[in-house]
A and B are shown apart, each in its own frame.
Chain A
Protein backbone atom coordinates (compact mmCIF):
# COMPACT_ATOMS: atom_id res chain seq x y z
CA UNK A 1 0.00 0.00 0.00
CA UNK A 2 1.39 3.41 -0.99
CA UNK A 3 1.97 5.54 2.10
CA UNK A 4 4.11 8.40 0.74
CA UNK A 5 2.04 11.63 0.74
CA UNK A 6 3.61 12.80 -2.54
CA UNK A 7 2.15 9.83 -4.42
CA UNK A 8 -1.19 9.71 -2.57
CA UNK A 9 -1.86 13.39 -3.31
CA UNK A 10 -0.55 12.99 -6.86
CA UNK A 11 -2.84 10.03 -7.53
CA UNK A 12 -5.82 11.91 -6.13
CA UNK A 13 -5.14 15.01 -8.23
CA UNK A 14 -4.58 12.91 -11.38
CA UNK A 15 -7.86 10.99 -11.04
CA UNK A 16 -9.90 14.12 -10.21
CA UNK A 17 -8.42 16.09 -13.13
CA UNK A 18 -9.09 13.13 -15.44
CA UNK A 19 -12.72 12.86 -14.26
CA UNK A 20 -13.31 16.61 -14.56
CA UNK A 21 -11.80 16.81 -18.04
CA UNK A 22 -13.60 13.67 -19.29
CA UNK A 23 -16.98 15.00 -18.11
CA UNK A 24 -16.32 18.38 -19.74
CA UNK A 25 -15.31 16.67 -23.00
CA UNK A 26 -18.52 14.61 -22.97
CA UNK A 27 -20.70 17.69 -22.44
CA UNK A 28 -19.07 19.30 -25.50
CA UNK A 29 -18.61 16.40 -27.90
CA UNK A 30 -21.23 13.72 -27.26
CA UNK A 31 -24.75 14.30 -28.70
CA UNK A 32 -26.44 13.68 -25.34
CA UNK A 33 -29.80 15.19 -26.41
CA UNK A 34 -30.62 11.99 -28.37
CA UNK A 35 -30.37 8.42 -27.10
CA UNK A 36 -29.36 7.89 -23.46
CA UNK A 37 -27.57 4.65 -24.39
CA UNK A 38 -25.52 6.46 -27.03
CA UNK A 39 -24.68 9.22 -24.56
CA UNK A 40 -23.58 6.68 -21.91
CA UNK A 41 -21.53 4.44 -24.18
CA UNK A 42 -20.10 7.36 -26.17
CA UNK A 43 -19.33 9.16 -22.92
CA UNK A 44 -17.59 6.08 -21.49
CA UNK A 45 -15.40 5.63 -24.59
CA UNK A 46 -14.54 9.33 -24.88
CA UNK A 47 -13.92 9.48 -21.12
CA UNK A 48 -11.55 6.51 -21.23
CA UNK A 49 -9.63 7.99 -24.16
CA UNK A 50 -9.43 11.32 -22.36
CA UNK A 51 -8.14 9.51 -19.28
CA UNK A 52 -5.52 7.69 -21.38
CA UNK A 53 -4.33 10.98 -22.89
CA UNK A 54 -4.23 12.86 -19.57
CA UNK A 55 -2.33 9.99 -17.91
CA UNK A 56 0.70 10.80 -20.09
CA UNK A 57 0.86 14.22 -18.41
CA UNK A 58 1.01 12.69 -14.91
CA UNK A 59 3.12 9.55 -15.57
CA UNK A 60 6.50 11.35 -15.55
CA UNK A 61 5.73 12.73 -12.06
CA UNK A 62 3.81 9.97 -10.27
CA UNK A 63 4.50 6.56 -11.88
CA UNK A 64 3.27 4.42 -14.74
CA UNK A 65 0.56 1.80 -14.14
CA UNK A 66 -0.33 3.33 -10.76
CA UNK A 67 -1.36 6.48 -12.62
CA UNK A 68 -2.64 5.11 -15.91
CA UNK A 69 -5.21 2.62 -14.61
CA UNK A 70 -7.06 4.74 -12.02
CA UNK A 71 -6.91 7.79 -14.30
CA UNK A 72 -8.46 5.86 -17.19
CA UNK A 73 -11.04 4.40 -14.83
CA UNK A 74 -11.92 7.91 -13.59
CA UNK A 75 -12.33 9.12 -17.18
CA UNK A 76 -14.49 6.14 -18.08
CA UNK A 77 -16.76 6.55 -15.04
CA UNK A 78 -17.00 10.34 -15.41
CA UNK A 79 -17.78 10.07 -19.13
CA UNK A 80 -20.50 7.49 -18.53
CA UNK A 81 -22.15 9.41 -15.67
CA UNK A 82 -21.92 12.74 -17.49
CA UNK A 83 -23.47 11.24 -20.65
CA UNK A 84 -26.26 9.61 -18.66
CA UNK A 85 -26.94 12.65 -16.49
CA UNK A 86 -27.07 15.04 -19.44
CA UNK A 87 -29.34 12.70 -21.45
CA UNK A 88 -31.72 12.27 -18.48
CA UNK A 89 -31.76 15.99 -17.65
CA UNK A 90 -30.63 15.59 -14.04
CA UNK A 91 -27.38 17.28 -14.96
CA UNK A 92 -26.75 20.52 -16.85
CA UNK A 93 -23.52 21.21 -18.78
CA UNK A 94 -22.04 23.53 -16.11
CA UNK A 95 -22.58 20.83 -13.46
CA UNK A 96 -20.72 18.01 -15.19
CA UNK A 97 -17.37 19.14 -13.81
CA UNK A 98 -18.46 18.32 -10.26
CA UNK A 99 -19.66 14.86 -11.34
CA UNK A 100 -16.26 14.36 -13.00
CA UNK A 101 -14.36 15.27 -9.82
CA UNK A 102 -16.55 12.95 -7.72
CA UNK A 103 -15.93 10.19 -10.31
CA UNK A 104 -12.20 10.76 -9.94
CA UNK A 105 -12.47 10.46 -6.18
CA UNK A 106 -14.50 7.26 -6.48
CA UNK A 107 -11.99 5.75 -8.94
CA UNK A 108 -9.14 6.57 -6.53
CA UNK A 109 -10.97 5.06 -3.55
CA UNK A 110 -12.05 1.94 -5.43
CA UNK A 111 -8.52 1.29 -6.75
CA UNK A 112 -7.11 1.79 -3.23
CA UNK A 113 -9.68 -0.61 -1.77
CA UNK A 114 -8.97 -3.31 -4.37
CA UNK A 115 -5.24 -2.94 -3.83
CA UNK A 116 -5.71 -3.14 -0.06
CA UNK A 117 -7.51 -6.47 -0.57
CA UNK A 118 -5.07 -8.11 -3.00
CA UNK A 119 -1.74 -6.39 -2.32
CA UNK A 120 1.16 -8.11 -0.60
CA UNK A 121 2.76 -11.54 -0.80
CA UNK A 122 0.99 -14.53 -2.32
CA UNK A 123 1.83 -18.12 -3.10
CA UNK A 124 1.92 -19.38 -6.70
Chain B
Protein backbone atom coordinates (compact mmCIF):
# COMPACT_ATOMS: atom_id res chain seq x y z
CA UNK B 1 0.00 0.00 0.00
CA UNK B 2 1.19 3.54 -0.82
CA UNK B 3 2.05 5.45 2.39
CA UNK B 4 -0.35 8.29 3.17
CA UNK B 5 2.29 11.04 3.05
CA UNK B 6 -0.31 13.80 2.88
CA UNK B 7 -1.77 12.85 6.27
CA UNK B 8 1.67 12.22 7.76
CA UNK B 9 2.94 15.65 6.62
CA UNK B 10 -0.18 17.40 7.93
CA UNK B 11 0.29 15.95 11.42
CA UNK B 12 4.04 16.53 11.31
CA UNK B 13 3.26 20.23 10.81
CA UNK B 14 0.59 20.15 13.53
CA UNK B 15 3.06 18.60 16.01
CA UNK B 16 4.78 21.97 16.43
CA UNK B 17 1.75 23.70 17.95
CA UNK B 18 -0.34 20.69 19.09
CA UNK B 19 0.56 20.88 22.78
CA UNK B 20 -0.02 24.63 22.82
CA UNK B 21 -3.71 24.18 22.01
CA UNK B 22 -4.43 20.82 23.63
CA UNK B 23 -2.02 20.17 26.50
CA UNK B 24 -3.66 22.21 29.23
CA UNK B 25 -7.34 23.23 29.11
CA UNK B 26 -8.56 20.42 26.85
CA UNK B 27 -6.65 17.69 28.68
CA UNK B 28 -7.68 19.00 32.10
CA UNK B 29 -11.31 19.03 30.96
CA UNK B 30 -11.27 15.55 29.43
CA UNK B 31 -8.89 13.78 31.86
CA UNK B 32 -11.59 12.40 34.23
CA UNK B 33 -13.60 10.89 31.33
CA UNK B 34 -10.47 9.49 29.70
CA UNK B 35 -9.20 7.97 32.95
CA UNK B 36 -12.58 6.25 33.46
CA UNK B 37 -12.41 4.81 29.94
CA UNK B 38 -8.75 3.76 30.10
CA UNK B 39 -9.36 2.08 33.48
CA UNK B 40 -10.86 -0.76 31.40
CA UNK B 41 -7.46 -1.63 29.90
CA UNK B 42 -6.72 -5.37 30.12
CA UNK B 43 -4.48 -7.79 28.23
CA UNK B 44 -2.54 -6.74 25.14
CA UNK B 45 -3.62 -3.24 24.18
CA UNK B 46 -3.33 -1.17 21.01
CA UNK B 47 -3.60 2.61 21.38
CA UNK B 48 -4.32 4.40 18.12
CA UNK B 49 -2.92 7.80 17.10
CA UNK B 50 -0.84 8.55 20.18
CA UNK B 51 -0.09 12.09 19.04
CA UNK B 52 2.34 13.81 21.43
CA UNK B 53 1.38 11.37 24.20
CA UNK B 54 -0.97 13.70 26.08
CA UNK B 55 -3.14 10.70 27.02
CA UNK B 56 -0.33 8.65 28.57
CA UNK B 57 -0.71 10.17 32.07
CA UNK B 58 -4.35 8.94 32.01
CA UNK B 59 -3.31 5.29 31.44
CA UNK B 60 -3.57 2.92 34.41
CA UNK B 61 -0.22 1.65 35.69
CA UNK B 62 1.43 -1.62 34.75
CA UNK B 63 -0.24 -2.31 31.39
CA UNK B 64 1.25 -3.62 28.13
CA UNK B 65 0.42 -1.06 25.47
CA UNK B 66 1.48 -0.59 21.86
CA UNK B 67 0.83 2.98 20.71
CA UNK B 68 0.95 3.97 17.04
CA UNK B 69 0.91 7.25 15.13
CA UNK B 70 1.41 8.16 11.48
CA UNK B 71 3.54 11.21 12.30
CA UNK B 72 7.20 10.81 13.28
CA UNK B 73 7.27 14.37 14.65
CA UNK B 74 4.36 13.56 16.96
CA UNK B 75 6.10 10.37 18.09
CA UNK B 76 9.31 12.28 18.89
CA UNK B 77 7.32 14.29 21.43
CA UNK B 78 5.35 11.26 22.61
CA UNK B 79 8.60 9.39 23.37
CA UNK B 80 9.38 11.85 26.19
CA UNK B 81 6.01 11.16 27.85
CA UNK B 82 6.23 7.39 27.18
CA UNK B 83 9.43 7.18 29.27
CA UNK B 84 7.47 8.40 32.29
CA UNK B 85 4.81 5.66 31.99
CA UNK B 86 4.92 3.06 34.76
CA UNK B 87 4.37 -0.04 32.60
CA UNK B 88 5.32 -1.32 29.13
CA UNK B 89 4.54 1.30 26.48
CA UNK B 90 5.97 0.83 22.99
CA UNK B 91 5.67 3.45 20.24
CA UNK B 92 5.51 2.59 16.53
CA UNK B 93 5.14 4.74 13.42
CA UNK B 94 2.18 3.30 11.52
CA UNK B 95 -0.83 4.25 9.38
CA UNK B 96 -4.16 3.37 11.05
CA UNK B 97 -5.53 2.10 7.73
CA UNK B 98 -2.53 -0.13 6.93
CA UNK B 99 -1.23 -1.66 10.14
CA UNK B 100 1.54 -4.24 10.01
CA UNK B 101 0.26 -6.27 12.99
CA UNK B 102 -1.02 -9.80 12.46
CA UNK B 103 -4.73 -10.69 12.55
CA UNK B 104 -6.36 -10.92 15.99
CA UNK B 105 -3.29 -9.81 17.93
CA UNK B 106 -4.84 -7.40 20.44
CA UNK B 107 -7.31 -7.97 23.29
CA UNK B 108 -8.46 -4.36 23.23
CA UNK B 109 -8.03 -1.26 21.07
CA UNK B 110 -8.34 2.28 22.44
CA UNK B 111 -8.71 5.52 20.50
CA UNK B 112 -8.61 9.10 21.69
CA UNK B 113 -9.71 11.77 19.19
CA UNK B 114 -8.44 9.53 16.40
CA UNK B 115 -11.31 9.05 13.97
CA UNK B 116 -11.77 12.77 13.36
CA UNK B 117 -8.41 12.57 11.62
CA UNK B 118 -8.16 9.25 9.77
CA UNK B 119 -8.96 10.17 6.14
CA UNK B 120 -10.96 6.98 5.49
CA UNK B 121 -12.56 6.20 8.88
CA UNK B 122 -14.40 3.05 7.77
CA UNK B 123 -11.18 1.57 6.33
CA UNK B 124 -9.43 2.41 9.62
CA UNK B 125 -12.16 0.78 11.69
CA UNK B 126 -12.12 -2.34 9.50
CA UNK B 127 -8.36 -2.51 10.05
CA UNK B 128 -8.94 -2.34 13.80
CA UNK B 129 -11.39 -5.25 13.51
CA UNK B 130 -8.69 -7.22 11.72
CA UNK B 131 -6.07 -6.75 14.46
CA UNK B 132 -8.59 -7.17 17.30
CA UNK B 133 -9.19 -10.65 18.70
CA UNK B 134 -12.63 -12.15 18.02
CA UNK B 135 -14.95 -10.75 20.67
CA UNK B 136 -12.39 -8.06 21.55
CA UNK B 137 -13.47 -4.55 22.52
CA UNK B 138 -12.82 -1.19 20.93
CA UNK B 139 -13.06 1.74 23.38
CA UNK B 140 -13.22 5.19 21.81
CA UNK B 141 -13.06 8.71 23.19
CA UNK B 142 -13.99 10.84 20.20
CA UNK B 143 -15.50 14.11 19.12
CA UNK B 144 -18.10 13.60 16.42
CA UNK B 145 -20.67 15.45 14.39
CA UNK B 146 -23.93 16.51 16.05
CA UNK B 147 -27.59 15.94 15.22
CA UNK B 148 -28.62 19.13 17.02
CA UNK B 149 -29.25 22.36 15.10
CA UNK B 150 -27.42 24.79 15.11
CA UNK B 151 -24.37 22.79 16.30
CA UNK B 152 -24.49 20.50 13.24
CA UNK B 153 -24.52 23.54 10.95
CA UNK B 154 -21.49 25.05 12.68
CA UNK B 155 -19.57 21.76 12.63
CA UNK B 156 -20.26 21.34 8.91
CA UNK B 157 -19.12 24.92 8.23
CA UNK B 158 -15.95 24.50 10.29
CA UNK B 159 -14.84 21.21 8.73
CA UNK B 160 -13.52 22.57 5.39
CA UNK B 161 -11.26 24.90 7.39
CA UNK B 162 -10.27 22.53 10.20
CA UNK B 163 -9.34 19.64 7.89
CA UNK B 164 -6.58 21.74 6.27
CA UNK B 165 -4.55 21.82 9.49
CA UNK B 166 -6.10 19.15 11.70
CA UNK B 167 -9.26 17.13 12.35
CA UNK B 168 -12.68 16.97 10.70
CA UNK B 169 -15.51 18.14 12.96
CA UNK B 170 -18.54 16.42 11.46
CA UNK B 171 -17.71 12.70 11.46
CA UNK B 172 -20.62 10.27 11.91
CA UNK B 173 -18.55 7.85 13.98
CA UNK B 174 -21.45 5.68 15.20
CA UNK B 175 -22.57 5.09 11.63
CA UNK B 176 -18.96 4.41 10.58
CA UNK B 177 -18.65 1.78 13.35
CA UNK B 178 -21.80 0.14 12.07
CA UNK B 179 -20.48 0.17 8.50
CA UNK B 180 -17.21 -1.40 9.66
CA UNK B 181 -19.14 -4.25 11.28
CA UNK B 182 -18.74 -3.40 14.98
CA UNK B 183 -21.49 -4.03 17.51
CA UNK B 184 -22.02 -0.87 19.59
CA UNK B 185 -22.61 -1.62 23.27
CA UNK B 186 -22.56 1.75 24.97
CA UNK B 187 -22.37 5.46 24.14
CA UNK B 188 -21.69 8.10 26.79
CA UNK B 189 -22.19 11.77 25.90
CA UNK B 190 -19.64 13.92 27.74
CA UNK B 191 -20.55 17.16 25.97
CA UNK B 192 -23.80 17.41 23.97
CA UNK B 193 -23.71 14.59 21.41
CA UNK B 194 -20.29 15.82 20.26
CA UNK B 195 -17.72 14.52 22.79
CA UNK B 196 -18.40 10.85 23.48
CA UNK B 197 -17.06 7.58 24.82
CA UNK B 198 -18.10 4.58 22.73
CA UNK B 199 -17.77 0.90 23.62
CA UNK B 200 -17.93 -1.42 20.60
CA UNK B 201 -17.18 -5.11 20.12
CA UNK B 202 -15.69 -7.08 17.28
CA UNK B 203 -18.62 -9.47 16.74
CA UNK B 204 -16.47 -12.25 15.27
CA UNK B 205 -16.76 -14.13 18.54
CA UNK B 206 -16.07 -17.89 18.34
CA UNK B 207 -19.45 -18.61 19.96
CA UNK B 208 -21.40 -16.41 17.53
Q: Which residue of A lies closest to B190 (CB)?
A: A119
Whether A118 pairs with B150 at a CB distance below 8 angstroms is: no
Whether A63 pairs with B190 at a CB distance below 8 angstroms is no
Beta-carbon nearest neighbor of B174 in chain A = A124
Question: Would you give the 0/1 interface string for B27-58, flagging 1 where the beta carbon is closer than 8 Å to chain A?
Answer: 01110000000000000000000000000000
Task: Using C-beta atoms within 8 Å of the partner chain, give the interface range for chain A.
Answer: 20 to 34
Task: Give a binary string over B172-208; 1 marks a CB under 8 Å from any A CB, 0 the rest.
Answer: 0010000000011111111111110000000000000
Say yes or no: is B164 at the interface (Cβ < 8 Å to chain A): no
Q: A73-B150, A124-B184, A124-B185 are in contact. Are A60 and B191 (CB under 8 A)?
A: no
- Complex: how many Å from CA A115 to CA B195? 11
Cβ of A65 within 8 Å of any chain B Cβ, yes or no, is yes
Q: Say whether chain A's binding surface is mostly helix, strand, loop, or mixed.
A: helix
B189 and A65 form a contact (CB under 8 A): no
- One of A61, A65, A124 near B187 (C-beta < 8 A): A124
B126 within 8 A of A: no
Residue of B nearest to A44 (CB): B150
Assuming the A-B contacts A124-B174, A124-B187, are A62 and B154 also in contact, with contact meaning beta carbons closer than 8 angstroms in the complex? no
Report if B22 contacts A (CB, 8 A).
yes
Known A-B contacts A60-B20, A60-B24, A63-B30; the reply to A69 vs B154 at CB < 8 A is yes
- Chain B contacts to A: CB under 8 angstroms: 20-22, 24-26, 28-30, 143, 148, 150-151, 154-155, 157-158, 174, 183-195
Of all A-B residue pairs in the complex, the 9 with the closest CB atoms, nearest first, are A63-B29, A124-B184, A61-B25, A122-B187, A62-B25, A64-B26, A121-B188, A119-B189, A63-B26
